[in-house]
């Protein structure tokens, strides 16, 4: 490529990288250009060049993509939260679906994958030897879907308290109190906290100097119950005038739980280890489907409850439970999927590495009266082989929902040995999903259905749920064995009873 730093060139954007940068090709050389969308013709200038690819800065959009939209959020380009604010929602869904489809074909070798419509989703059997790729489940309204927000506090050049977001890949705070992905109450609550700090001269935390008090404001809302939680993260053990803050915050409709978290360490970790209650219970309640969850400031809980319900209902549907099955839910977190499954299975076992999450899972099982569940703390790749080899456990269905790196080989190996009828794979990374599907297919499973679900509109990530079934032994062989046996019996019988005639 005959270009050097700061040279400009024109390119058409054909694809997006995993972190949302536009990708264009020039004489076989690949360019990554931020703030572009598929279909743009852009002028860009060279930032950095490697052997086969380079990074360039957007200079000007020469011809905008028909799918380009004006970002709704004024901080879209600086904030690190959303990568796809310039792309229509419809195009985002198309992009995500294509990414998953292509990874499954290219990396997973799923050459029998066929796209089908919604109406083809029922039943397990598709056309002969095909894996069905169903339409992505998008959001009805891709705004204000997040039930959790964590705003850093800081001080601007004029000495005023600000709350907002970190600029992408930095720790600079951009004042922005109304994130359009978050609930409307966030802005009201942040206003109350800022006013409280100004009035009582309580300083925001300064990361460089490691001084000042208020670090972050955590706000959570139960979408079904309307309950609100506020937890202030502070660099100290006490919050002066806390009772005044409580009085003000209680004026917000739905306020249920107010607390602070002590974090005096020099760290990027937001929450401290100790939570001090100020008012109300230390948790809020919410529902996904008809399962009730208690959410504390430190609990893991899916951030998009509406889409989570769609995703887990699909996983439940794919599990095909009749009430008599033993199910293992690996990487179970707080047991969200396990509890969904428990209503329709004989027994559900969950495995999760984080002890606190398992405590939550057990508590949530009790709150819902689901006593057919059992949870193990540990690595899936250690607990499952151990339970299989030492205690001879079995499974009719295994569900996995691993982190981005996918399943450990030992875990997949044990699943294949245990030979459940069905495996339901919930994934947040289609590349590792594709790799793991390849292993399971080589181990005797076939992919029946694949369906994506968008949980993070305006961001690049997408969730996928896959149904795999144990490959049936060849029918012809089965019949032949039966006939052979029948013949043998008949011959024996004939020998024993000579009076039997043809």
Characterize the bridge pairing of strands 148-155 and 214-221.
antiparallel
Please, what is the minimum distance in Å from the beta carbon of residue 369 to ligand SAH?
A: 19
What number of other Cβ atoms are within 10 A of residue 116's Cβ? 15
Characterize the bridge pairing of strands 284-288 and 274-279.
unpaired
Please, what is the minimum distance in Å from the beta carbon of residue 420 to ligand SAH?
A: 18
Which residues, 6+ apart, have CB-to-CB distance to 367 below 8 Å? 292, 293, 294
Please, what is the minimum distance in Å from the beta carbon of residue 217 to ligand SAH?
A: 24
Residue 113 or 330: which CB sits closer to ligand SAH?
330
With the CA atoms of 190, 192, 197 and 199 taken in that order, what torsion angle do they form, in degrees rounded to the nearest 10?
A: 150
What number of other Cβ atoms are within 10 A of residue 123's Cβ? 9
Give the footprint of ligand SAH on residues 314-373 (CB under 6 A).
Answer: 331-334, 336-337, 351-354, 357
Give the footprint of ligand SAH on residues 186-205 (CB under 6 A).
Answer: none
The reply to whether 148 sits near ligand SAH by the rule CB under 6 A is no
Q: Select from 63-71, 92-100, 240-248, 396-404 the region that touches ligand SAH (CB under 6 A).
A: 396-404
Residue nearest to ligand SAH (CB): 333
Please, what is the minimum distance in Å from the beta carbon of residue 428 to ligand SAH?
A: 7
Which residues, 6+ apart, have CB-to-CB distance to 15 below 8 Å? 22, 23, 38
Q: What angle separates helix 409-418 from helix 380-391, to the nearest 10 degrees? A: 30
Q: Which has the closest alpha carbon to 456: 50, 142, 1?
A: 142
Q: Quick check: 229 and 297 in contact, CB under 8 A?
A: yes
Please, what is the minimum distance in Å from the beta carbon of residue 335 to ligand SAH?
A: 7
Instruction: Note the helical H segments in 112-201.
Output: 185-199
Residue 95 or 331: which CB sits closer to ligand SAH?
331
Give the footprint of ligand SAH on residues 398-457 (CB under 6 A).
Answer: 401-403
Structure tokens at 241: 């005038």
Residue 255 or 351: which CB sits closer to ligand SAH?
351
Residue 332 or 465: which CB sits closer to ligand SAH?
332
428 an active-site residue? yes
Burial zone of 260 (CB within 10 Å; 0-12 exposed, 13-18 middle, 19+ buried): buried
Structure tokens at 271: 């929450």
- Distance (Å, rounded) from C-alpha 219 to C-alpha 216? 10
Residue 358 or 437: which CB sits closer to ligand SAH?
358
Please, what is the minimum distance in Å from the beta carbon of residue 363 to ligand SAH?
A: 14
Q: Is 445 helix (H, G, I), strand (E, B) or coil?
A: strand
Starting at the earlier edge strand, list the strands of the sheet with 347-352.
113-115, 131-137, 445-453, 463-470, 422-427, 397-400, 326-330, 347-352, 373-377
Residues belonging to the chain: 502
Give the footprint of ligand SAH on residues 478-497 (CB under 6 A).
Answer: none
Query: Residues 79, 407, 428, 452: which is the catalytic one?
Result: 428
Residue 252 or 354: which CB sits closer to ligand SAH?
354
Largest CA distance in the chain: 111
- Distance (Å, rounded) from C-alpha 105 to C-alpha 415? 23
Q: Is 4 helix (H, G, I), strand (E, B) or coil?
A: coil
Q: Select from 167-175, 195-203, 273-281, 379-387 the region that touches ligand SAH (CB under 6 A).
A: 379-387
With the CA atoms of 428, 305, 351 and 437 taken in that order, what torsion angle do they form, in degrees rounded to the nearest 10?
A: -30
How big is the site for ligand SAH, counted in residues (CB under 6 A)?
19
Please, what is the minimum distance in Å from the beta carbon of residue 355 to ligand SAH?
A: 10
| Residues 276-315 as x/- pattern, contact with ligand SAH by CB under 6 A | ------------------------x-x-------------
Residue 38 or 315: which CB sits closer to ligand SAH?
315
Q: Quick check: 79 and 176 in contact, CB under 8 A?
A: yes
Please, what is the minimum distance in Å from the beta carbon of residue 321 to ligand SAH?
A: 17
Rounded to a whole number of angstroms, the distance between the first and last alpha carbons of the chain is 85
Find tokens 């209680």 and name the residue: 250
What number of other Cβ atoms are within 10 A of residue 393's Cβ? 15
Please, what is the minimum distance in Å from the beta carbon of residue 227 to ligand SAH?
A: 19
Find tokens 């369906």 and name the residue: 451
Binding site for ligand SAH (CB under 6 A): 300, 302, 331-334, 336-337, 351-354, 357, 379-381, 401-403
Cite the active site residues.
428
């Amino acid at each position: 490529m005959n270009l050097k730093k700061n040279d400009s060139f024109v390119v058409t954007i054909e694809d997006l990288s995993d972190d949302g940068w536009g990708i264009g090709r020039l004489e076989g050389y690949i360019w990554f250009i931020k703030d572009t969308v598929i279909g743009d013709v852009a002028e860009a200038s060279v930032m950095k060049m490697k052997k086969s690819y380079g990074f360039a800065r957007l200079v000007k959009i020469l011809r905008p993509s028909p799918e380009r939209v004006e970002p709704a959020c004024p901080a879209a380009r600086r904030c690190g939260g959303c990568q796809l604010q310039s792309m229509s929602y419809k195009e985002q869904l198309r992009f995500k679906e294509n990414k998953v489809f292509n990874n499954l074909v290219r990396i997973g070798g799923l050459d029998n994958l066929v796209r089908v419509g919604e109406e083809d989703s029922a039943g397990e059997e598709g056309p002969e030897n095909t894996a069905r790729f169903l339409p992505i489940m998008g959001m009805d309204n891709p705004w204000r879907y997040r039930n959790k927000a964590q705003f850093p506090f800081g001080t601007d050049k004029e000495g005023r308290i600000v709350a907002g977001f970190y600029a992408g890949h930095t720790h600079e705070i951009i004042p922005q109190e109304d994130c359009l992905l978050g609930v409307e109450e966030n802005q009201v609550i942040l206003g109350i906290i800022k006013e409280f700090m100004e009035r009582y001269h309580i300083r925001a935390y300064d990361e460089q100097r490691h001084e000042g008090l208020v670090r972050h404001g955590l706000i959570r809302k139960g979408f079904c119950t309307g309950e609100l939680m506020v937890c202030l993260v502070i660099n100290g053990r006490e919050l002066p005038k806390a009772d005044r803050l409580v009085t003000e915050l209680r004026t917000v409709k739905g306020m249920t739980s107010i607390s602070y978290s002590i974090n005096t360490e020099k760290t990027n970790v937001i929450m401290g280890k100790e939570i001090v209650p100020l008012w109300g219970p230390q948790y809020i309640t919410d529902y996904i489907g008809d399962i009730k969850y208690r959410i504390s400031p430190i609990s893991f809980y899916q951030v998009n409850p509406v889409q989570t319900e769609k995703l887990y209902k699909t996983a439940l549907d794919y599990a095909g439970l009749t009430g008599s099955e033993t199910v293992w839910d690996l990487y179970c977190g707080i047991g969200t999927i396990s509890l969904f499954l428990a209503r329709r299975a004989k027994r559900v076992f969950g495995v999760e590495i984080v002890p606190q999450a398992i405590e939550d899972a057990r508590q949530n099982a009790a709150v819902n009266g689901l006593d057919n569940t059992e949870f193990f703390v540990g690595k899936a790749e250690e607990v499952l082989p151990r339970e299989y080899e030492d205690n001879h456990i079995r499974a009719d269905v295994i569900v996995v929902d691993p982190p981005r790196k996918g399943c450990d080989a030992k875990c997949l190996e044990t699943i294949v040995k245990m030979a459940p009828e069905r495996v339901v794979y919930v994934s947040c990374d289609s590349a590792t999903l594709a790799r793991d599907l390849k292993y399971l297919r080589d181990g005797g499973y076939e992919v029946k259905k694949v369906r994506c679900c968008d949980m993070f509109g305006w961001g690049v990530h997408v969730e996928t749920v896959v149904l795999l079934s144990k490959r049936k032994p060849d029918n012809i062989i089965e019949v032949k064995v039966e006939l052979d046996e029948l013949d043998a019996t008949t011959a024996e019988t004939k020998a024993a009873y000579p009076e039997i005639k043809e």
